[in-house]
Amino acid sequence: MRSITIHIFSNIVSERWLNDYGDQLYAHAKSRLNNEEEILDVLQDTFVAALESVSRFRGDSSELTWLLGILRHKIFDVYRKRARKNTFTAEAVNVYEEFKEQDRYNVAIVDRAPGPDKIAENRELYFAIMNCIGKLPQMQTDAFTMRELDNLTTKDICNILSISTTNLNVILYRARINLQKCLHEKGINDVD
């Protein structure tokens, strides 16, 4: 009898979470993971974990913050698994070649006057960058995401990905170079 009560209780609670916070949780998961199956798994895991530890929730933060916290950890677990699976192959990005290509000291910086549709531009820029992040090698995507979107410390990221600080710095460096390259290919040469 007790297990049925718990079952009903769980359904009511998760139903409410789904209604009240579903969209926000989904939006967050979507900004960190790129396939729907992973997103579904991570959201389900979040609800399960939340139900299991609901007694431990002290109400010192909002429910949404708490759920988002669980979701973030579930997402980091995905990154952790990925890092273990992939052997990190060094990307042969010859950066110096990239810079040598153009006549550096004579390039003038073209000053773009801000247009009236600035907000639309920023939106487009946001999606362009997110798209480019998704195109990076897995390791670079995950490291960059944890750094710039989740603001994790170097120590935490290194723990999750099982890499050294030096290694992380290299990965982030390559990610940034690749991102700029990707944006150039989209025709975006200035960010603001």
**Binding residues for other proteins, total number by CB under 8 A:** 54
Give residues 28-67 in contact with other proteins (rule: CB under 8 A).
28, 30-31, 36, 39-40, 43-44, 47
Interhelix angle 154-161/63-85, nearest 10 degrees: 50
Does position 122 interact with other proteins (CB under 8 A)? The reply is yes
The C-alpha angle with vertex 39 and arms to 35 and 44, in degrees rounded to 5, equals 155
Work out which of 126, 131, 138, 159 binds other proteins, going by CB under 8 A. Answer: 126
Query: Taking CB under 8 A as the rule, does residue 23 contact other proteins?
Result: yes
| 3-class secondary-structure state, position 127 | helix
Q: Can you tell me which of 1, 4, 90, 109 binds other proteins, judged by CB under 8 A? A: 109
User: First CA to last CA across the chain, in angstroms?
Assistant: 62
CB 50 within 8 A of CB 5: no
- Which residue is it, tokens 């390559």? 174
Give the burial class of 129: count Cβ atoms within 10 A of its Cβ; 0-12 exposed, 13-18 middle, 19 or more buried: middle
Options 7, 16, 123, 186; binder of other proteins; rule CB under 8 A:
123
How far apart CA 16 and CA 14 sit, in angstroms, is: 5
Looking at 15-23, 58-66, 72-80, 83-91, which segment touches other proteins (CB under 8 A)? 15-23
Q: Structure tokens of 27?
A: 């939006």
Among residues 107, 113, 114, 187, which is the contact residue for other proteins, using CB under 8 A?
107
Checking phi first, is residue 59 left (phi over 0); if not, alpha (psi -120 to 50) or beta? left
**133 near other proteins (CB under 8 A):** yes
Minimum distance, C-beta of residue 106 to other proteins, in the bound complex (Å): 9
- Residue numbers of the site for other proteins (CB under 8 A)? 14-15, 18, 22-28, 30-31, 36, 39-40, 43-44, 47, 95-96, 99-100, 102, 104-105, 107-109, 122-123, 125-126, 129-130, 133, 147-149, 154, 166, 168-170, 172-173, 176-177, 179-180, 183, 189-192
